[in-house]
Structure 1
Amino acid sequence: MTSQPAVEAGYIQQFVERASSLYSLPAVAMEVLELTGRPSIDAAQVKSCIERDPALTIKILRAVNSPLFGLSRQVSDLHQALALLGMKPLKLLVLGFSLPREMLNGVEADSLSHYWSISLTKAVAAREIADYLGYRNGDEAFIAGLLADIGMLVLMQDLGAPYAHFVRKAEEEEAPLLEMEVGTLGFDHIILSSRLLTHWKLPAVLIDAVAAIKPLPFAAPLDLASLSETARSLVLADRLADILVGKKLAALPAWVEAVSNFGPAEQADFENLATRIEEKVKQLANVMRVSIDDRTAYAEVMLSAYDRLAEVAGDAALEVARRDPEEQQLQEAWLEAKDLSSVMQSFRDRAPDSPLVSSAESLKNAPAVATIETAKATAKDLTLDKASIARLDVDVQRCRQMRMPISVLQITLDRHDDLMLQVGPDELVQTWQLVERAVGAIIGEAGTCFASADSVLMVVLPMHDRMQAVETARRLVYGIRNWSHARAENGTFSPLTISVGAAAIALPPKNFPSGELADAATRCMEAARRSGGDGVKSIEIL
């Protein structure tokens, strides 16, 4: 049987193959890569190659003469640029400014403006962070940032308006886009970017840096110790772009903590950093002749994020999002994007060599993406017994000591009262016991399953983060549905469905009350049940 990761990898490959057949690096960029990859580089040949593309030459000279590079005198031709900058920075500029034009065709103006705002901020921030931390890889980090989100352009072209609306809604709800993409598409656009860069045979240092960006909750800690300096700079820039462009203020504590492991972490320094990034992003947008959303003052956003930190005292400051009701609501905004899933399914079903619908037609005809739902249900009056709390406490403390995540699922039967009237209390109890055994069989050794309250099962999943917990919950929903339908066909009982709530914490802090994890899962379970059942809702506790 084909595993789900293998299936999703196949879908990614479909996107890459389609994209690689439609979008290729301009001939000049490919030739520059070939020339600079030789053991002996001929600077005159490289210069002549670039000069064959006048538009690219102008872009490079604009960039070199802008404050981005801070040269002491104006550069009038590529010969001077090579002399002052050297071959490597010039090669990187060629790659950064050689995005296939077809990727941008037909993308609506607002979506393109958002893309450039994120992309340019990430590029400039990567270079500034590299300089701030004393790294010598600023140029590589800059180009990696400029190319990191090209997968988003591919998805805009292939999935059309539903994906554009999906991105816009995630921004409005301040929800983590990469996590949402994984939950809906099975992969995120960063993976697509790294695969496409690999296909284009770009330098490994750029590919590895882009691939280091992972789909994490905004407040999750950043593990950067094993990364190269280029990748470290880019991952920090990616999170900083979330803060400055997306105004994800809850991301600041973990970002500050990550920076502090490698350099100074003073508020004044970071406010100055934000100001420099904003200025240089505007300069870069002018150099590249692209439109960005420049209504936000980055220094003000940074100050607002620090003001939020100041609301919590002492050691709790770096966990400001954990008990913030507003952030709790934002984290509950987990996607049920049925229209995007439908478009994704049509892509999967499409023959690999079938013609791609034009972006304009896609934008015109595609349905609007479903609204991101926010789970605001009040928890059922559900009291865990002491034994359940004790069992959960043990697993929570074990995961804290191992510095690993832990998740809890709460499971209930849909239409419980109707079933009670239909089959009677005794038969319902027997049915529930069968469901409990079926859940245990599906979970296997990944976790433990036990009755946490009347008509509610709890599954504890040590070393499972939110995405893994949601995947497990979905397997339970599908598994119970199929299992009960098979029994119903044999006349055993009526078909059953379940509602599952999932709550996860990336790293339980000291003295974390385990009951909070169970309560959060219960609220999500109730939200899933009230949404019609036969589904999953999830939340990350921060």
Structure 2
Amino acid sequence: MSDPTTPLDRLAAKAGQFYSLPVVAMKVLELTNNPKVDIAALKRCIENDPALTTKVLRVVNSSLFGLSREVSDLNQALALLGTKPLKLLVLGFSLPEPLFDGVAADILGWYWQHTLTKAVAAREISETFGRQSGDEAFIAGLLQDLGILLLIQELGDTYVRFLEKVLARGGDLVALETASLGFDHTMLTSRLLRHWGLPEVLVEAMRRSGAPPPAASTSSAPSLSQVVHWAGLVAQLVADGRSDALSQLLALGDGSQGLSPEQLDQLVGSLRQKVEQLADVLSLRLPEGRDYHHVLVEAHVQLAQVAAEVAEDLVAQRESRRTLQSESQAFAHECQSLSDAVAKISQPGPASAPLAPGGRRAPEPAAVRSSSQPAVSSSGRSGPVDTRTQGRAVVTSADAEIDPGLLGQLDAAVSACRRSQCALSLLLVELDEVERLTITYGVEGLGKLRRFLETGCASVDHPQAVCLPYRDVGFAVILPDCERQPAVRYANQLIDRVRGLTPGRWSPGRRAVGISVGAATLSVPTKSFPPENLFEAAHRCLYGSRASGGVVKSIEIY
């Protein structure tokens, strides 16, 4: 059961008080929730908003629906489409105006370009490749990022600076939000849509924490959450210019659970034109257009370059990371600022207090109690851990060097778990015997193995899991609100998945691919706990796992 005093719950409650669906949308929901829909009453209700009626008819007549003849009124629209698609369109185009108040033009331009690309891609994927209606997928894609607007209104400039820096660096917004806030904007969207009474299938499809579960079989139609997830990756790739999203899409395709390269090329070919047409229909101004197909080609080139670099000297890559240290530390500061802002604004207050755009002042958070319990090691021995420091703990081993970006996100996760008084676990996962893998499978095969491992780490069945790159062939999985035992279970599931599925996928009959996993759990972080200590503990366990032939090693610190 969730804690009603968590930042997510309090922000969602405030949003529900301040942002309501327009009267027309609420009435449409009421009429369509009746088993016997009154078509005439539904038509009269929508016609009460002439601007909405015009918008719906223009979308219905666009290339998105591909109708054989023009629809001139709602009677024809209802006859051709039925009540469900029309209801979804009305809900999708009836957003509360205060959500957009004061949002800068450049941020709004990015928001609509990303959102419309995702919505159109979701519809195309559902209908063309999933062979099912794309109405729900379109609306789910259109609504999923409303939480971004909510966070802008609630946290103001603090969130805007955070968002701008994430977009400028091509970062994973959802992962960084989770590390900083303890939740992401799609979870906030889900709560708001449930408050509005929208269909539960839409509510459940909103959440994007980690990759959705795979389909039951390769022949079954993809679920709505899967379609929206794939469409989100497409939007990140072509609208946001995140070339790393291509590797995730191709990894899903390798597993017969996503789009093949040919399907992706087909989808992207017509996407930009439909997005621009939809923007014109909705009277929205998008940023200067980019050639989506050209973006896809560039991403393929960059992905090939990355695969080639896997076999290069690792020392040169580490040196390159060091040159980005100052920028990464500055970004860690933005994560911490966002974490502090949500802590202040989500403190308990009068239940009737409205949510004000830009945020309100709230009482300072209560002091966090510290703990001096002994640590329990993987060998069963216990001993005291001194959390008193004069600054940050230093990881002295060169082999255990922590990337500043990972450090910043781990720092934010420690802060979030301290506020929520819950445990925090960290998994460090790496492919074993990289030199042998490169010789056996080649550079391209090693790249596929790394993408497969990334997909597995991103699919850990924990609602707040955050997957981040770790060194050259590994990943760090941050698990807020996760005790040691489930963390070890997730680690073993990763090992089983890699061992069980990789041997015959790229080179039949060859030795199974193995991974090593180190797990460290922090029981309720104290106020002065340095995140480097958790990383160093997980790294020692990773070393132990590698030495023991891939057995998970874990440790719990207090």
Please tell me the TM-score bracket, short chain as reference.
0.5 to 0.7
**Partner Cα distance (1:304, 1:379) in 2:** 39
Distance 1:497 1:280, change over 3 A: closer
The number of residue pairs the alignment matches comes to 412
Alpha-carbon contact 2:174-2:184 (below 8 Å) kept: yes
Distance 1:301 1:30, change over 3 A: same
Alpha-carbon contact 2:268-2:293 (below 8 Å) kept: yes
The amino acid of 1:108's aligned partner reads A
| Structure 1 partner of 2:224 | 230
| Structure 2 partner of 1:81 | 77
| Structure 2 partner of 1:345 | 343
Q: Once the 2 structures are TM-superposed, how far is the Cα of residue 245 of structure 1 from its aligned partner?
A: 1.8
Distance 1:18 1:472, change over 3 A: farther
Q: Once the 2 structures are TM-superposed, how far is the Cα of residue 394 of structure 1 from its aligned partner?
A: 12
| Long gaps (5+) in structure 2 | 362-393, 402-427, 434-452, 471-481, 496-516, 548-558
Distance 1:472 1:246, change over 3 A: farther
| Structure 1 partner of 2:170 | 174
Tell whether 2:278 aligns with 1:284.
yes
Distance 1:14 1:394, change over 3 A: closer
Superposition TM-score, scaled by structure 1 size: 0.65
> CA offsets, 1:121-150, max 9 Å, x none?
111110111123133131110000001011
Superposition TM-score, scaled by structure 2 size: 0.63
The alignment yields a C-alpha RMSD, in angstroms, of 4.6
Q: Once the 2 structures are TM-superposed, how far is the Cα of residue 246 of structure 1 from its aligned partner?
A: 2.0
Q: Once the 2 structures are TM-superposed, how far is the Cα of residue 21 of structure 1 from its aligned partner?
A: 1.1
Tell whether 2:233 aligns with 1:256.
no
**Partner Cα distance (2:59, 2:487) in 1:** 55
205, 209, 218: which one pairs with 1:214?
Answer: 209
**Partner Cα distance (1:353, 1:257) in 2:** 48
The amino acid of 2:338's aligned partner reads L
Tell whether 2:18 aligns with 1:19.
no
**Partner Cα distance (1:240, 1:57) in 2:** 30
Distance 1:262 1:463, change over 3 A: closer
Q: Once the 2 structures are TM-superposed, how far is the Cα of residue 463 of structure 1 from its aligned partner?
A: 6.6
Distance 1:475 1:77, change over 3 A: same
Q: Once the 2 structures are TM-superposed, how far is the Cα of residue 187 of structure 1 from its aligned partner?
A: 0.7
**Partner Cα distance (2:531, 2:305) in 1:** 43
Tell whether 2:35 aligns with 1:39.
yes
The amino acid of 2:244's aligned partner reads A
> CA offsets, 1:201-235, max 9 Å, x none?
11112112112x2246xxxxx64225952222111
Please, which moves more after superposition, 266-275 or 247-256? 266-275
| Structure 1 partner of 2:86 | 90
| Structure 2 partner of 1:432 | none
Alpha-carbon contact 1:141-1:233 (below 8 Å) kept: yes
Larger Rg, first or second structure (1 or 2): 1
Alpha-carbon contact 2:119-2:137 (below 8 Å) kept: yes
| Long gaps (5+) in structure 1 | 217-221, 363-376, 385-391, 411-441, 449-459, 483-495, 516-542
Alpha-carbon contact 1:184-1:340 (below 8 Å) kept: yes
Alpha-carbon contact 2:114-2:235 (below 8 Å) kept: yes
- Secondary structure, aligned partner of 1:349: coil
Q: Once the 2 structures are TM-superposed, how far is the Cα of residue 382 of structure 1 from its aligned partner?
A: 5.2
**Partner Cα distance (2:98, 2:318) in 1:** 41
Q: Once the 2 structures are TM-superposed, how far is the Cα of residue 101 of structure 1 from its aligned partner?
A: 0.9
Q: Once the 2 structures are TM-superposed, how far is the Cα of residue 461 of structure 1 from its aligned partner?
A: 7.3
| Structure 2 partner of 1:538 | none
Alpha-carbon contact 1:68-1:283 (below 8 Å) kept: no
47, 64, 68: which one pairs with 2:64?
Answer: 68
Alpha-carbon contact 1:180-1:335 (below 8 Å) kept: no
143, 148, 154: which one pairs with 2:144?
Answer: 148
Alpha-carbon contact 2:252-2:259 (below 8 Å) kept: no
Alpha-carbon contact 2:345-2:360 (below 8 Å) kept: no
Tell me which of the two structures has the higher relative contact order, counting C-alpha pairs closer than 8 angstroms and 6 or more residues apart.
2
Alpha-carbon contact 1:122-1:145 (below 8 Å) kept: yes
**Partner Cα distance (1:280, 1:33) in 2:** 28
Tell whether 2:203 aligns with 1:203.
no
> CA offsets, 1:326-370, max 9 Å, x none?
9995999574423222321221236243454444999xxxxxxxx
The amino acid of 1:230's aligned partner reads L
